[in-house]
Amino acid sequence: MSTTLTPVLTANWDQPNSFTLDVYGEYEAAKKALGMEPDAVIQAVKDSGLRGRGGAGFPTGMKWGFIPQGDGKPHYLVVNADESEPGTCKDIPLMMANPHALVEGVIITSYAIRANHAFIYVRGEVLHVIRRLHAAVREAYEKGYLGSDIFGSGYDLELVVHSGAGAYICGEETALLDSLEGFRGQPRLKPPFPAVAGLYASPTVVNNVESIASVPSIIANGADWFAGMGTEKSKGFGIFSLSGHVTRPGQYEAPLGITLRELLDMAGGIRAGHQIKFWTPGGSSTPIFTDEHLDVPLDFEAVGAKGSMLGTRALQIFDETTCVVRTVLRWTEFYAHESCGKCTPCREGTYWLKQVLKRLEKGQGTEDDLTTITDIADNILGRSFCALGDGATSPIHSSVKYFREEYLKHFEIGGCPFDPKKSTLWGEQ
C-alpha cells in the first residue's frame, strides 16, 4: 500500500478529555502567529497550498488576501460549522473531540485578516458539540487566549458560538451570513463576495471548520511540512469519512490523493459477502461514482477530471443490494425540503423532480420520464443564486448516466426490483 494515514486533527481523539485545554496543550501556534506580521501569516497559508475543506476547494490563503486592508471597516471571521451535506460527518466529531484546534485556528486567522470579532456558526442539531465549543471558548477566555491583549501582543479578539436552527441552506456562505444577521437564511447574489461585503456589509472571511482547524498545524510545522503531503495541486491532509456498506465505517485522516481502494483496504472492505455498486466522493451534491472509479486519486483535480467533485470527502458507499432509484429519490426529497425558495428553478425544479422520481420508483413511469428529469435538472443547473440547485442535479444526471438500465427495470416489472430489508444494517442477520 503506497499511501498511509496521517492523523493530525484526529490524533488526540482517543485521549480522555481531548476536548479540554489541559490535554490539547498551550496555544503555541497562536502565540507564534501573533509574533509574526499578519501578512506573513497569510503568506504561510498561501505557501502551504491549503484549499477550503468545506467542498469548493478555494485556496484559503488567497481568500484571506482578498480582505481589503486599511479600509477603516471592521473585519469579521465566520466559521462555517453548519455541516449538513448528506454524507458529510467530519466537522462534528472534530469539534466534539478537538474544539481547541478550531479555536486556536480562529485566533490565528482573525489576526491575519485583522478581525476583532469572530463567530462559529454551528448547526443547532448537535447539542453536545455545542456544549464542547462553548466550554473550549470559555477556557480560552480564562487563559487569556481570547479577549484583550492576547499574549501581550495588543491584539483583541471576541469569539461567539452561534447555534443555527435547522436549515441546510445556511451552509451556503451568504445564506449563513443572512442567518447570522437574524434573517431567513437565503443566499445573496455574488458579487459582491463576502471578502468585500459580508457580515453587516463588512469584509468577511467565511471558512469551513476543518480549514481553520488545519491552520495551527501549518503555523507550528511550516508551510513546507503541509505542502509535503498530498498531490501537486491538492496539498496536505484531510479527513475522509466512510459510511454505508463498509466493514468499519469511520473517519480516516489521510493525504489528499489517496484512493477509495486504499481506504477500503484500511476499513476492512465492503461488508462481508457484498460488492460495491455506487458511491459519492464528497457528499450527495457530487455526482456518483461506481466500481470503475476505485483507483481515482481523491484530490480536487483527479475527481473533477472523472466528472465529479472532491467535495467534503464524504464517501457514502452503497453495495449491490441498494436501489439507486430509491437512493436518488431520497436525496431529491432532501433538496426539495431544503431549497430556500428564493430562486424559481431550484424551488420548482426540485419539487417536480421529487414527483417524477416517486412515480419512477414505484414502477409507474415511462422512459419519457427519464428525459423529463434530465431536462428539469438541465434547467436548474447554473440557473440559481447558489449551489444547492446545482447539487440537486448531480445525483440525477450521474445515476441516469450509470444506471439507466436500472430505471428501465422499474417500469418493466412495475415496481422496485430490490428488497429494502437486504440493504439494512441488520439485513443479513
Partner 1 sequence: MTYSPEVRERLERDAKEIIGRYPKTRSALLPLLHLVQSEDGYVSDDGHEFCAEMLGLSKAEVVGVSTFYTMYKRKPAGDYHVGVCINALCAVMGGDQIWEELSEHVGVGHDETTPDGKVSLERLECNAACDFAPVMMVNWEFFDNQTPESAKQLVDDLRDGKDVRPTRGPKKLCTFKEASRVLAGLPDDLAGDGPSAAGPSLEGLKVAKANGWKAPEA
Confirm or reject binding of residue 97 to partner 1 (CB under 8 A): yes
**Minimal distance in Å, beta carbon 296 to partner 1?**
20
SS3 291: helix
Confirm or reject binding of residue 337 to partner 1 (CB under 8 A): yes
For partner 1, give the closer residue by CB, 195 or 328.
328
Confirm or reject binding of residue 420 to partner 1 (CB under 8 A): yes
Out of 36, 59, 65, 74, point to the residue binding partner 1 (CB under 8 A): 74
For partner 1, give the closer residue by CB, 179 or 234.
179
Out of 65, 222, 269, 363, point to the residue binding partner 1 (CB under 8 A): 222
Contact (Cβ atoms closer than 8 angstroms) between residue 397 and residue 370: no
In the window 263-282, what residues touch partner 1 (CB under 8 A)?
266-267
**Minimal distance in Å, beta carbon 85 to partner 1?**
7
**Minimal distance in Å, beta carbon 403 to partner 1?**
14
Out of 65, 124, 147, 304, point to the residue binding partner 1 (CB under 8 A): 124
Stretch that binds partner 1, among 143-151, 164-172, 187-195, 385-393 (CB under 8 A): 164-172
Angstrom distances, CA of residue 243 to CA of 89, 126, 150, 332: 9, 19, 41, 19
Binding residues with partner 1: total (CB under 8 A):
102
For partner 1, give the closer residue by CB, 162 or 359.
162
For partner 1, give the closer residue by CB, 25 or 382.
25
Angstrom distances, CA of residue 216 to CA of 48, 258, 392, 410: 12, 23, 35, 52
**Minimal distance in Å, beta carbon 49 to partner 1?**
15
**Minimal distance in Å, beta carbon 305 to partner 1?**
26
Q: In the structure grid, which three cell numbers stand for residue 368, read together?
A: 419519457
For partner 1, give the closer residue by CB, 65 or 228.
228
Taking the CA atoms of 303, 318, 208 and 41 in sequence, report the sign of the dihedral they define. negative
Out of 33, 206, 213, 229, point to the residue binding partner 1 (CB under 8 A): 229
Q: In the structure grid, which three cell numbers stand for residue 107, read together?
A: 485566533
Contact (Cβ atoms closer than 8 angstroms) between residue 77 and residue 110: yes
Confirm or reject binding of residue 346 to partner 1 (CB under 8 A): no
Stretch that binds partner 1, among 46-54, 218-226, 364-372, 378-386 (CB under 8 A): 218-226
Provide the strand spans (E) within 67-113: 76-81
Stretch that binds partner 1, among 8-16, 49-57, 146-154, 398-406 (CB under 8 A): 8-16
Closest-CA residue to 162 (of 180, 175, 147, 174) = 180
- Based on the number of CB atoms within 10 Å of its own CB, is 284 exposed (0-12), middle (13-18) or buried (19 or more)? buried
Angstrom distances, CA of residue 201 to CA of 177, 205, 274: 10, 12, 53
Q: In the structure grid, which three cell numbers stand for residue 267, read together?
A: 476499513
Confirm or reject binding of residue 322 to partner 1 (CB under 8 A): yes
- Based on the number of CB atoms within 10 Å of its own CB, is 40 exposed (0-12), middle (13-18) or buried (19 or more)? exposed
In the window 13-32, what residues touch partner 1 (CB under 8 A)?
13-20
Confirm or reject binding of residue 180 to partner 1 (CB under 8 A): yes
Residue 48 CA to residue 190 CA, distance in Å, equals 27
